[in-house]
Amino acid sequence: MDFVQNFPAVSILLCLFAGIISSGLKKNAARWVNRILLVTELVLNGCTLAWVAARGESCVYVMGKFPAPWGNEIRIGVLEALMALFFCVIMLLSLEGGVKKLADEVEEGKTFLYYVLCNLLLSSLLALVYTNDLFTAYVFVEINTISACGLIMIRQNGRTIEAAARYMIMSLLGSGLLLMGICMLYDLTGHLLMSNIKAQVEVISGIKQYRIPLLVAIALMSVGLSIKSALFPFHAWLPDAYGYSTVSSAAILSSLVSKGYIFLLFKIIYRVIGFDIFASSRIIDILFLFGLMGMIFGSLSAIRENDIRRMIAFSSVAQIGYIYMGIGMGTQAGMTAAVFHILSHAATKSLLFIAAIGLTDVSDGSRQFIRLTGAAYRNKWAGAAFTMGSLSMVGVPLFAGFISKLMFAQAAVQNQVKMLPALIVLGISTILNAIYFMKTVIRIYTPYEDYPYERVTFRNIKLYAAALVCFIVLNVFLGVSSQPIVDLIDQGLAMFS
């Protein structure tokens, strides 16, 4: 057994340890523990990715002395390692970009708790990514839910508390449905380990008596996870939660938390239910339909919005819709596109949130569009970054968003029934995206003669600007050299089944 194989388990445990120790530290010490942790995680997961990609096949890692169906187990594959690496990068950049705002918005005595929450959130994301056991996944879904609530309400004002309460109710409903689904599946198969459940599901899918419970279990798990990841009709918690929480939280929530749940859904589709059984069920059409509706209605709500943060939040609804549309196509190409869109949306949306906060800061803290006029001249870095992010979201070549839209279109062509609606809605949604993002870009670049607010110079925002540059580089990297990443995703999905 190779030494590298220990890395995923060590990375999960390190996060938990860092969270526990941070709870006894002061603000700055906790911040440094978090930074060191994130860099270590980058190295560990990078090594894992290189190792597993070179090895060419996945492997399992038994957590303890007892082998799989009795003990816990995690699974190391290309897609898992890629996601884990990516999550660490995004979290590091989001925290660095928002650290100044965090100091303003969070009480001095409670800042260390923010880092505790972040460390535990990362541990839960890594565990969701690597796990090979449904119940382990559920335990870490709980950690994920609670820490996400904490991230929302750590900035204490009325709206964030309300948003956190709303998020908690919706998210717990999702957890409950997921748990019921897992229980039913356990009752039908007698296993909690993903590979064993899959073997059993293949056996029982032919038996008529178990057809209905199996279908309901799949439905409960899909709906539970789509509530938690804010698919269209269940997105009511999203705008407030992303719009009013502190900026790092918004970036982390939109690009990591909801993506973690979607990745879990991928795992359930491939590793628990089996792709063919899932694709032949009706649930997939419902997910497809909801995805399409989300793409349109999310964008329409974003156009109506007069608050830049909430506008970006509503844009997330549309983008989550894209991912579910990819899942709903029920083809291998659609799945690849959906996974790629997870990456590209995470990179772009966190960039947009971080850039937007720079723009509102130079406009006296106001998020209304009218006050943002000319903001890009006052904070050039944020303006440029916001423009790049918008271009990526709209789907201009050279940026990540273009590749994912291209892949969605290619995937749609392969599915004869769903091709027409998918392509039409993709087109409409792109135009709507362009309307509200370009509206904002034009607004922030409109010259405004008498500047009532101060300009920001590079010297004051070094860290912030560095984070923005890293995000832009990440975006362009995903857009320009997408082929190796798509190959990795294909390799990972092939390892899944």
Partner 1 sequence: MSRLKPQDEYEKTGAFHFFRWLSGSKDPYLGEVELRPQKRVETPVDTILDRMDEQQMIREKVYDVSHNRKLAVFHRVYVVAAILFCIALVGILLYTVSWLPRTGNPSNPDNNIVSQRYIERGLQETGAVNIVSGMILTYRAFDTFGETNVLFIATCCVMILLMLDEAILKKLDAGSGDRHFEPKNDQILQGTAFVLCPIIFIFGIYIILNGHISPGGGFSGGAILGAGLILYASAFGFGKTRRFFDEHIYKIAKITALCMYGIIGSYFYITGANGIENHIPLGQPGHILSGGIILPIDICVGLEVACTMYAFYALFRRGGL
Tell whether residue 245 is a contact of partner 1 (CB under 8 A): no
DSSP for 254-317 reads: IIIIHHHHHHHHHHIIIIII-HHHHHHSTHHHHHHHHHHHHHHHHHHHHHH--BHHHHHHHHHH
Site string for partner 1, 102-121 (x = CB under 8 A): -----x-xx--x--xx--x-
> Which one of 4, 29, 42, 139 is in contact with partner 1 (CB under 8 A)?
139
Spatial CB neighbours of 335, under 8 Å, sequence gap ≥ 6 = 266, 269, 275, 326, 327, 493
Residue 26-65 contact track with partner 1, rule CB under 8 A, x = bound: -----------------------------------xxxxx
Nearer to partner 1, 13 or 438 (CB): 13
Query: Which one of 205-213, 228-236, 448-456, 487-495 is the stretch in contact with partner 1 (CB under 8 A)?
Result: 205-213
Task: Please say which residue, 142 or 307, places its beta carbon nearer to partner 1.
Answer: 142
Binding map of partner 1 across residues 155-194, x = CB under 8 A, - = no contact: -x----x------------------x---x-xxxxxx---
CB of 481 to partner 1, least distance (A): 35
Q: Does 127 bind partner 1 (CB under 8 A)?
A: yes
Q: Which of 13, 384, 409, 469 binds partner 1 (CB under 8 A)?
A: 13
- The type of residue at 299 is S
Of residues 246-275, those binding partner 1 (CB under 8 A):
none
Among 4, 6, 380, 409, binds partner 1 (CB under 8 A): 6
| Cα–Cα distance for residue pair 111/256, rounded to 1 Å | 21
Select the span of 208-216, 228-236, 256-264, 447-455 touching partner 1 (CB under 8 A): 208-216
With H, G, I as helix, E, B as strand and everything else as coil, classify residue 154.
coil
Instruction: Report the alpha-carbon distance of residue 189 to residue 451 in Å, rounded.
Output: 67
Structure token digits, residue 449 = 């003669």
Tally of CB atoms within 10 A around 452: 8
Q: Is 136 in the site for partner 1 (CB under 8 A)?
A: yes
The C-alpha atoms of residue 146 and residue 497 are separated, in whole angstroms, by 31
Q: Report how far residue 55's alpha carbon sits from residue 153's, in angstroms, rounded to the nearest whole number.
A: 43
- By the 8 A CB rule, do 184 and 217 touch? yes
Our measurement of the distance from residue 101's CA atom to the centroid of its chain's CA atoms, rounded to an integer in Å, reads 22
Does 19 contact partner 1 by CB under 8 A? yes
Residue 154 binds partner 1 (CB under 8 A): yes
| Both tokens assigned to 396 | 């201009």
The nearest distance, CB 162 to partner 1, in angstroms, is 13
Residue 267: other Cβ atoms inside 10 A: 22
> Does 71 interact with partner 1 (rule: CB under 8 A)?
yes
213 contacts partner 1 (rule: CB under 8 A): yes
Tokens (6 digits) for 110: 């409670």
Q: Is 7 helix (H, G, I), strand (E, B) or coil?
A: helix
Distance CA 19, CA 35 (A): 12
Stretch in the footprint of partner 1 (CB under 8 A) among 28-36, 141-149, 236-244, 352-360: 141-149
**Contacts with partner 1, residue ranges (CB under 8 A):** 1, 5-6, 9-10, 13, 16-17, 19-21, 23-24, 61-66, 69-72, 107, 109-110, 113, 116-117, 120, 123, 127, 133, 135-136, 139-140, 142-143, 146-147, 149-150, 153-154, 156, 161, 180, 184, 186-191, 200, 204, 209-210, 212-213, 216
